[in-house]
Structure formats: C-alpha cells, structure tokens
Amino acid sequence: MKVRICSTSLVIVTILVALVPVSVGAQSPDTETSITVTDIVAGAPYVGKNFTTDLEVSITNNVVTATVGVMGVEIWVSFDPTVVSVYDFDGDAGNGTQVEVKNGFFDGNLLVVANKVYYTTPTIPHPTECDTQACIHIAASHTGGSGAITDNSGPVATITWVGLEEGSPAIGIPIVGDGILPGSVLADPDGQFIPIDNISVPDITVIYPGTVAGVVRRQGTRTDNAGVQIIALEVDGVLATTTTAADGSFSLDVPLGGTFDIDASYPGYLHSRKGSVYVWGATVEIGPTKLVGGDVNADNCINILDIVCIVSRFGQTELPASDPYDINDDGTVNIFDLTISAGNFTRCGPTPWAP
C-alpha cells in the first residue's frame, strides 16, 4: 500500500526474480556462462493471448586476469508449435516470422545475421530438436561498444508468444558441448568456442482463461469512470490487473477454476473488494460497485489526516487527472472535495462490492 502524508509520498518496490540453472557442460576455469529463457515478463500464458519472455546471455569472469569475452552468439530455441506460436515482431510476412533482437548483452551496433522462426524442418544445418519441434534461430554480433563482452548479462532478444492450446510449450535450448555446429554457441573475438556452462528455461503452462467482468463507478466524479485499477488477488499476491473503461466496465482474464479476490482502487478513494470470486465458466459477472471518496493520503481510511490535507491544498487549480486531493477530478481542490471526504468521515476500506 502507498500512503501519502499530504504532499509527501514514498514508494518502495522490491522485485525478486530467480531461475534455477541447469548445468549442461564443463565449466571453463576462468569463466562461467549461461543462456536463459526468462520467466514471463509481460502478459499471461492463456490460450488466445500473448505473453513475452526474454532470451538472455551471461558471462562471469572469475579472475582478474581473465580475457575471455563473448563477441558473438548463435542460439536455437525449440518449442512445441501446437501449444504456442511466435508473434512476428516486424509484421512482414514476406520475410518470415522474426523476434525482437536487441541490445542489452551487447552494447555496440548490432549485426544480426540470422533471425527466423522455423515451423518446418530448417533447410540449413540445425539441431535435431528442430526436426520434430519448431525452432527460433538467432545469430548476432556487434561492432564498436565494449568489444568482446566480459562480466555482463542481459537480453539478446525478446520473444512474444501466442497461446494456441493448453499444455507446456516445452521450451528448450539445444547446445553443443564441443562448439561444433549446429547448436547454440558463444564465440570469442578469435572465433573460438566458449563453453556454455548453464542453460535455464521457464516452467510455463498455457491454459484457457476465465473472465471476471463488472462495473466500477466513482462517487462524485465530474469526468468519467475510466482508469480505476482492477486487481485479481490470490494467496501469493497479484495475479492479473486491468483498468476500467469510461463507463466503468472492465473485463479481467484469470485462470479457470480459480478463486480470487477482486480489488478496485483509484487515487483519493477507498478500495472496494469482492472476496472469493470463483471462476467456474468463461465469464463471471460480479456486478457494479461504487468507490467511496475522501481517502487522499491512501491509507484506506478517511479521517482527520485527509481533511487536513484537503484544507492545505484548498483552492489549487489545474491539477492533473487522478490527483488524489482533487477527488472529483474537476481540476480544483474545492468545497466539493471537502464535502465528499467529510461525508465519509471514519469510513475505512476495503468497502463491500456494492452499488
């Protein structure tokens, strides 16, 4: 929860992301390398929806005198094409499906010599996995920048997947232990093979989504009901989010068969919450609710602190939309904002989901 004390706010966000590496080769005495398909960074693995993962490379030089550096990468990523497909990043059907190759691991001018998704057996040398699965093939280097990359990790590509059917995408990274192609390899400036010590792929399951739908309106608003944040909460935290349209309606995709709390919030208002929503079918309607106004310091209670804050800002104009002190969004902190807060004095949230 973010709590405002009049005009002062403090937000602390900590994100911890961990992937368990799998040892796949002999470790070099002075370096440790890895190729990783990260966990989902955006979207959700639902049938008919998009989600993204990054493809990352890492090299750690363990001794000060180490000179081993990565100058180029060639990476194959295999997957089950009956469960997922790859969204074409450049939108040009004529050059085949491609992913977004990016700087992140490299820092110079990218040289991309291969960027293609194969849904049938490639006509070029390829890992045996590509005979039975679809494969992404990327090969890139760079000029300028830091030259050979040491002690660094970062993305070389972002992959946008499209869920097609329930199941595991069976994502894999085919590699070769001796540097003889075909397979994923790292290369140094002398054209020598750098052993790949670890690969890591996420455990993803594509499922059919359910939908929670409802309507949220804000007390006293002078504009519309757009921008209310809707969150599906489960035991482990936030599962999915969306925002309302101008008429207050929303539609939120969540896994079928789950039970969630649905929370609605907007700056200057108490949260409203619908508990234990069981998503048993394609769409579950939870009806309308109205957000109670007056909580300008975001502590989810309306008390003397909120009144004092409104008084301290009284008369301010040309405020941006969703400024918590301008509760009704008419651009000014005025008597209407004060009376909304005063009328709800001592109320706390989350309030019941009710009109």
Sign of CA dihedral 295, 301, 303, 305: negative
234, 240, 244, 250 alpha-carbon torsion, rounded to 10°: -80
For 7: left if phi > 0, alpha if psi spans -120 to 50, otherwise beta; the answer is: alpha
267 plus 189 within the same structural domain = no
Digit-coded pLDDT (tens) for 269-297:
999 999 999 988 778 999 999 999 999 99
79 plus 163 within the same structural domain = yes
Q: State the angle between helix axes of 335-343 and 304-313 in degrees (0 to 180), rounded to the nearest 10.
A: 180
In a domain, 12, yes or no: no
Q: What pLDDT is recorded for position 341?
A: 96
Per the structure, how many domains does the chain have?
2
Contact of 186 with 141, CB cutoff 8 Å: no
Q: What is the pTM for the complete model shown?
A: 0.68
User: At residue 236, does pLDDT exceed 50?
Assistant: yes
180 plus 221 within the same structural domain = no
Q: Which two tokens stand for residue 247?
A: 């008429």
In a domain, 21, yes or no: no
User: At residue 6, does pLDDT exceed 90?
Assistant: no
For residues 232 and 238, give the distance between their C-alpha atoms in angstroms, rounded to a whole number: 6
User: At residue 20, does pLDDT exceed 50?
Assistant: no
Digit-coded pLDDT (tens) for 161-201:
999 999 999 999 999 877 677 899 999 999 999 999 999 99
Mean of all residue pLDDT scores within the chain: 89
User: At residue 24, does pLDDT exceed 70?
Assistant: no
Write down the residue that tokens 């929370």 correspond to: 263
75 plus 117 within the same structural domain = yes
Q: State which residues form the domain around 268.
A: 208-352
Beta bridge partners of 85: 162
Instruction: Specify the CATH number for the domain of residue 212.
Output: 2.60.40.4130
Q: What pLDDT is recorded for position 23?
A: 42
The CA distances from residue 233 to 13, 142, 179, 230, in Å, are 18, 43, 47, 10
Query: Chain centroid to CA 340: how far?
Result: 36
Q: Which two tokens stand for residue 229?
A: 């944040």
Which residue has better confidence, 10 or 147? 147
Digit-coded pLDDT (tens) for 73-98:
999 999 999 999 999 999 998 899 99
User: At residue 67, does pLDDT exceed 90?
Assistant: no
180 plus 216 within the same structural domain = no
181 plus 246 within the same structural domain = no
In a domain, 61, yes or no: yes
User: At residue 118, does pLDDT exceed 50?
Assistant: yes
Range from 9-18, 78-87, 234-243, 274-283 that averages highest in pLDDT? 78-87
Q: What pLDDT is recorded for position 313?
A: 92
64 plus 112 within the same structural domain = yes
Q: What pLDDT is recorded for position 65?
A: 62
For residues 23 and 150, give the distance between their C-alpha atoms in angstroms, rounded to a whole number: 20
Calculate mean pLDDT across residues 41-47: 90
Amino acid at 64: V
Contact of 221 with 247, CB cutoff 8 Å: no
For residues 132 and 118, give the distance between their C-alpha atoms in angstroms, rounded to a whole number: 11
Contact of 60 with 97, CB cutoff 8 Å: no
Question: Which of 146, 166, 200 is at the close of a domain?
Answer: 200
DSSP element (H, E) containing 312: helix 304-313
134 plus 190 within the same structural domain = yes
Beta bridge partners of 212: 252, 284
